Chains A and B, each alone.
Chain A
Amino acid sequence: MNLDVNNLMPLFLTVLKIFFIACSLFYLVFSLIVVKQVTSMTKNVKDKFNSILISFSFIHLIAAAVLVFLIIVIL
């Protein structure tokens, strides 16, 4: 059986795209957990910079959502 690398490339890219989408969705869920945990931590221990940490976790969540969007649009 003669395998041509050029013919395999689209298949590889499709598999890669599915892989990226799956990973980014997992990452989105993970970033949601991070937000939840940071909020919970800041409730337990109150300090000066808690609000900054919560903002960072939300920025991270937004970035994860943007990543999912970009993967769907660009790839």
Chain B
Amino acid sequence: MNRSKDLDTIAPDDPITETTEPTNILIEEPPKEFPKINHPKKVKIFKSKSDQKIYDILGHTKSPFSAFLVNPKIFDFTERQDKEVIILAVRSHWIVNLKWMFITVLMLFVPNIVDMLDTLKSLPAGYQFITHLFWYLFTFIYAFEKFLDWYFDVYILTNKRLVDIKFNNLINKHFAEADIGVIQDVSSSVRGVLGTFFNFGTVLIQTASEINQIIFKNVPNPEKIIKAIQELRNAPNCTPKGGEL
């Protein structure tokens, strides 16, 4: 026997009359199929043998703070052409920053020394405070400017050319490039105890273009850079221009 489900209005023994009127029953619609999104397939970059050899020579970058960035994923520069691949981005070795770091630390102690010597004692407290504040700001901008000088002084090796980007005194931008095909001669020099110990030096690249030479100053692993450039020069897609190789 069918029983009503509405127990509040109908007694248990009442006969059940089936209504034919449509009731407001929420009918669950069959779930709509979401439009399929075509996720871009991961593009596999097939490196040629020569490319692979270059990456084998250069190795891998372990730290994002490294001055020697092999095949960097985030790094880019404005003048990069389409389909131009950055193989290596190099900055000067971090050890060259020690000089300004040391000076900065010394500068931080100057107000303490001045206080100890009572040099500003004759001035009111407000003037002393402002002088200290001024000094600390000056110290900060000195360190910041030196860091920017190092950070934005970049040498880039791409599959097509060598690029040297430099900013002098935050105002002047220097940009130099040379196609791999016009490179004539590459040499390097590692000098001094620090250079030998930390393996950094200068790479000199002679070219047959208007810019006679590009110099990578104080770069880490100069021998690896030279080998990579040589490998790029010998690559089958490299066309020599303006001189014998």
Give A residues with C-beta under 8 Å from B.
Answer: 13, 16, 20, 23-24, 27, 30-31, 33-34, 37-38, 41, 43-49, 53, 56-57, 60, 63-64, 67, 70-71, 74-75
Give the total number of A-B pairs whose CB atoms are below 8 A apart: 78
- Quick check: is B64 within 8 A (CB to CB) of the other chain? yes
Question: In chain B, what residue has the closest Cβ to A63?
Answer: B137
Partner of A44, one of B74, B78, B129, B145: B78
- A70 lies within 8 A of B130 (CB): yes
**Which A-B residue pairs are the 7 nearest by beta carbons?**
A46-B76, A74-B126, A37-B170, A41-B152, A44-B78, A48-B74, A45-B77
Given contacts A37-B170, A60-B137, contact A71 B74 (CB under 8 A): no
Q: Which residue of A lies closest to B129 (CB)?
A: A74
Q: Which of A23, A27, A45, A49 has the most CB of B within 10 A?
A: A45
19 A–B contacts, CB within 8 A, in A order? A20-B127, A24-B134, A27-B134, A37-B170, A38-B148, A38-B170, A41-B167, A44-B152, A45-B165, A46-B75, A46-B76, A53-B151, A57-B144, A60-B141, A63-B140, A67-B134, A67-B137, A70-B133, A75-B130
Q: Mark B116-128, 1 if CB is under 8 A from A, else 0.
A: 0000000110110
Residues of A within 8 A of B124 (CB): 13
Interface of A is mostly: helix
In the complex, the answer to whether B140 meets A44 with C-beta atoms within 8 Å is no
Across the interface, do A44 and B171 meet the contact criterion of CB distance under 8 Å? no
* Cα–Cα, bound, A56→B143 (Å): 12
Q: Across the interface, which residues of B come within 8 angstroms of A38, CB to CB? A: 148, 170
CB distance from B162 to the nearest CB of A (A): 15
